[in-house]
Chains A and B, each alone.
Chain A
Amino acid sequence: MDKLLSVNDLRTHFYTREGVVHAVNGISFDLEAGETLGIVGESGCGKSVSMLSLLRLIPQPPGKILSGSANFNDIDLLSTSEDELRKIRGAKISMVFQDPMTYFNPVLKVGKQVMEPYLLHNDVSEKEAEERMFEMFAEVGISNPKGCAEDYPHQYSGGMRQRAMIAMALMCSPEILIADEPTTALDVTIQAQIIDMVRKLRDDFDMSIIWITHDLGIIANLAQRVIVMYAGYIIEEAYVKDLYKKPLHPYTIGLLNSLPRLDMKEKEKLNTIEGIPPVMYKETNLCPFAPRCQFAIDKCLNENPPLERFDNKRSVACWVDVETGKERK
């Protein structure tokens, strides 16, 4: 398959009064054309920051992208000019955020805001933009598009707002849609509506999706490939089926085992991962998960394992082979 986006050694830190937060520590991954890539991790693992960095949406200062490249159609998103990037942002790569209430301007009508990217990126009249908006509203299942376009964001329900947000992101038929926990603030039945819709849109628009979430259930349902992040590192990458069938990193294993499942017949005690995620104030020379890891060996406390690829389709950053409990050869 073709590589649509290729990210290399992305590193973003925040310089705060308390110290330097090592939010993203050199991550590399590819996105293939037409695929849905899930990025999973707990709060503070760097999943949102890494995606925001790609579009240079990190407030600088305090944030700083220290290194990395992100190749998209032969343009490096991280080093290209601001003008060039602006042509891509919202047009070829769009983003949908977690809380649509804070991303819409509360004093402008929703319709006007949804039209904005289309007017900005295309040489079209307001009339044409409006038509396109109604088209998109229908696409995302907003009934009564005419009336809704005249409403303000606070008049929308949470699910509707997220639909409008997605309509806005799709106005310019993007090649990549980055979705940052778009359903986390929604109820499960509304979440099911949105995911169902995104799945249809993905095929209609032939776009690639990067879906950020902490919910391993959504990924199982939607994505083909998944990246697991911990403390600013990618610690595992695999096809969805392989990851759930046989997770290789102790953190992924712990995460999957700590989830109660709706389809479990008998009640089982939940496995837990002891401890809490690390505070990322310093460069680590040990595996960031080692202090919580039941498989940790001496080497884990002395050297941070690199993300290593094997089988040609999956990667893991761990010194230990969890099956034998010994160091991986």
Chain B
Amino acid sequence: MNKKNTSDICLRVEDLVMHFPIKRGVFQKTVGHVRAVDGVSFDVYYGETLGLVGESGCGKTTTGRSILQLYEPTAGHVYFEGNDLTTMKKEDLRLARKDIQMIFQDPYASLNPRMTIAQIVGEPLKVFSIVKPEEIREKVKDLLQLVLLNPAFIDRYPHEFSGGQRQRIGVARALALEPKLIICDEPISALDVSVQAQVINLLEELQSKFNLTYLFIAHDLSMVKHISDRVAVMYLGVIVELAINKDLFAYPLHPYTQALISAVPIPDPVVEEKRRRIILEGDVPSPADPPSGCRFRTRCSIAQDICAKVQPKWREVKSGHFVACHFAK
């Protein structure tokens, strides 16, 4: 991979930490913290798709939301085009969000059932006064066309659409402000298999058309592999490995990444017969009480004493291939 300059960086996340307090009792005393995101750093370059994968509860969605400051991060910095979103004044942040949009997982919960499509997709245009009020309808129609929905549907309500169509409406809303970065939070996991491909193809077309940058959060490794240029793997609040797509799937270095990749079934019985699975023991530990040292050590087959004592350093093993494991070479 070519060396990137700082001017190529669209989003830089630095040591992002997001802890949620656990409260108990009458006085709501804080008795502990869920360490959902515990020191995450990565860059997203202009025009690329960075895939963020991990299993449920690993903190990938929280990372996405903390970037947009939908949660106030406990610590760390989020630089968008060089400006730190975590220290911004409210009004500046509001304006910055114009360039960062989000597509949500559940197309049923993310659209207000009492609003028509014209109102839903037109809302960001209205809030930021991008176009004159009388032109909003036309602009919404253009946007619907862009996501391959019939503009004649403009006065319908969300319940009149299928899951895939709703997700397109979500995409149209995200595109309304012509953002630079879109955070896609599991945009296809609620959809049927035959419809998933439709939405993915749409996202890819829009990316090349408008030179969009995506942070693509998902648990489906096959889909992440398909859409991403680079991939980051999260486990229990930390990123354990980050590399360009080809390297990560061909030469995974972290034992967790290796197990994760081997666990994904491939729809081909001939291939499946020859594959060897790495079966991980046990469950993911609780993020309220993560293991000392390396967080993966409790399920890792190559763990040694050092793994319990020292948290492995985040290091670049090959050009552009980062991993946090004492034994990765």
**Which residue numbers of A lie inside 8 Å of B, CB to CB?**
42-43, 157, 159-160, 187-193, 195-196, 214-221, 240-241, 244-245, 254-256, 258-264, 267, 269-274, 276-277
Stretch among B108-116, B149-157, B255-263 lining the A interface: B255-263
Q: Chain B, 252-278, contact with A by CB distance < 8 Å: what is the 0/1 string?
A: 000000011111111111111000010
State the CA gap A188–B193 with chains docked (Å). 17
Chain B contacts of A191 at CB under 8 A?
Answer: 263
Contact A273 B194 (CB under 8 A): yes
Chain B contacts of A277 at CB under 8 A?
Answer: 192, 194
Say yes or no: is B201 at the interface (Cβ < 8 Å to chain A): yes
Q: Nearest B residue to A44 by beta-carbon distance?
A: B192
State the CA gap A326–B290 with chains docked (Å). 61
A-B contact pairs, 30 of them (CB 8 A): A42-B194, A159-B283, A160-B283, A188-B219, A189-B55, A189-B260, A189-B263, A191-B263, A192-B280, A196-B277, A214-B193, A217-B266, A219-B267, A220-B267, A221-B265, A221-B272, A241-B270, A255-B194, A259-B193, A259-B197, A260-B200, A261-B268, A262-B221, A262-B249, A263-B271, A267-B226, A269-B201, A269-B204, A272-B197, A273-B197
Chain B contacts of A157 at CB under 8 A?
Answer: 283
State the CA gap A182–B190 with chains docked (Å). 17
Contact B219 A187 (CB under 8 A): yes
Q: Chain B, 181-218, contact with A by CB distance < 8 Å: what is the 0/1 string?
A: 00000000000111111101100100000000000000
CB < 8 Å neighbour of B222 from A195, A261, A272, A273: A261
Contact A192 B225 (CB under 8 A): no
State the CA gap A264–B165 with chains docked (Å). 28
Chain A contacts of B328 at CB under 8 A?
Answer: none
Q: How many residues of B contact A (CB 8 A)?
A: 41
Given the known inter-chain contacts A189-B55, A191-B263, A192-B279, please indicate yes or no for A270 contacting B201, CB distance below 8 A.
yes
Chain B contacts of A241 at CB under 8 A?
Answer: 269-270
CB < 8 Å neighbour of A220 from B55, B225, B261, B266: B266
Q: Nearest B residue to A195 by beta-carbon distance?
A: B265
State the CA gap A219–B266 with chains docked (Å). 9
State the CA gap A197–B36 with chains docked (Å). 30
Give residues of chain B (54-108) contacting chain A, Cβ–Cβ below 8 Å.
Answer: 55-56
State the CA gap A192–B259 with chains docked (Å). 10
Contact B267 A256 (CB under 8 A): yes
Chain B contacts of A273 at CB under 8 A?
Answer: 194, 197
Contact B56 A187 (CB under 8 A): yes
Chain B contacts of A271 at CB under 8 A?
Answer: 197
State the CA gap A269–B277 with chains docked (Å). 28
CB < 8 Å neighbour of B197 from A244, A258, A263, A276: A258
Q: Nearest A residue to B148 by beta-carbon distance?
A: A274
Given the known inter-chain contacts A269-B201, A271-B197, please indicate yes or no for A188 contacting B264, CB distance below 8 A.
yes
Q: Chain B, 32-64, contact with A by CB distance < 8 Å: what is the 0/1 string?
A: 000000000000000000000001100000000
Contact A258 B194 (CB under 8 A): yes
**CB-CB nearest 5 A-B residue pairs:** A217-B265, A260-B226, A187-B55, A192-B263, A258-B197
Contact B263 A221 (CB under 8 A): no
Contact A261 B267 (CB under 8 A): yes
A157: shortest Cβ distance to chain B, in Å? 5
Chain B contacts of A259 at CB under 8 A?
Answer: 193, 197, 222, 267
Given the known inter-chain contacts A259-B267, A261-B266, A270-B197, please indicate yes or no for A189 contacting B192, CB distance below 8 A.
no
Say yes or no: is B223 at the interface (Cβ < 8 Å to chain A): yes
Chain B contacts of A263 at CB under 8 A?
Answer: 266, 268, 271
State the CA gap A188–B278 with chains docked (Å). 11
Contact B280 A217 (CB under 8 A): no
State the CA gap A221–B265 with chains docked (Å). 7
Say yes or no: is B162 at the interface (Cβ < 8 Å to chain A): yes
Contacts A240-B269, A258-B193, A276-B195 known; 18 new A-B pairs at CB < 8 A: A42-B194, A187-B219, A188-B263, A215-B265, A217-B265, A217-B267, A244-B267, A244-B270, A255-B194, A260-B222, A261-B222, A263-B266, A263-B268, A264-B225, A271-B197, A272-B198, A273-B194, A276-B165
Q: Chain B, 275-313, contact with A by CB distance < 8 Å: what is the 0/1 string?
A: 001011001100000000000000000000000000000
Contact A188 B221 (CB under 8 A): yes
Chain A contacts of B195 at CB under 8 A?
Answer: 276
Q: Nearest A residue to B196 by beta-carbon distance?
A: A258
State the CA gap A13–B280 with chains docked (Å). 42
Q: Nearest B residue to A267 by beta-carbon distance?
A: B226
Contact A216 B267 (CB under 8 A): yes
Contact A244 B221 (CB under 8 A): no
B184: shortest Cβ distance to chain A, in Å? 15
Chain A contacts of B200 at CB under 8 A?
Answer: 260, 270
B135: shortest Cβ distance to chain A, in Å? 32
Say yes or no: is B122 at the interface (Cβ < 8 Å to chain A): no
State the CA gap A245–B270 with chains docked (Å). 9
A272: shortest Cβ distance to chain B, in Å? 4
Contact A42 B55 (CB under 8 A): no
Q: Nearest B residue to A230 by beta-carbon distance?
A: B194
Q: Nearest A residue to B162 by beta-carbon distance?
A: A276
A300: shortest Cβ distance to chain B, in Å? 18
Chain A contacts of B265 at CB under 8 A?
Answer: 195, 215, 217-218, 220-221
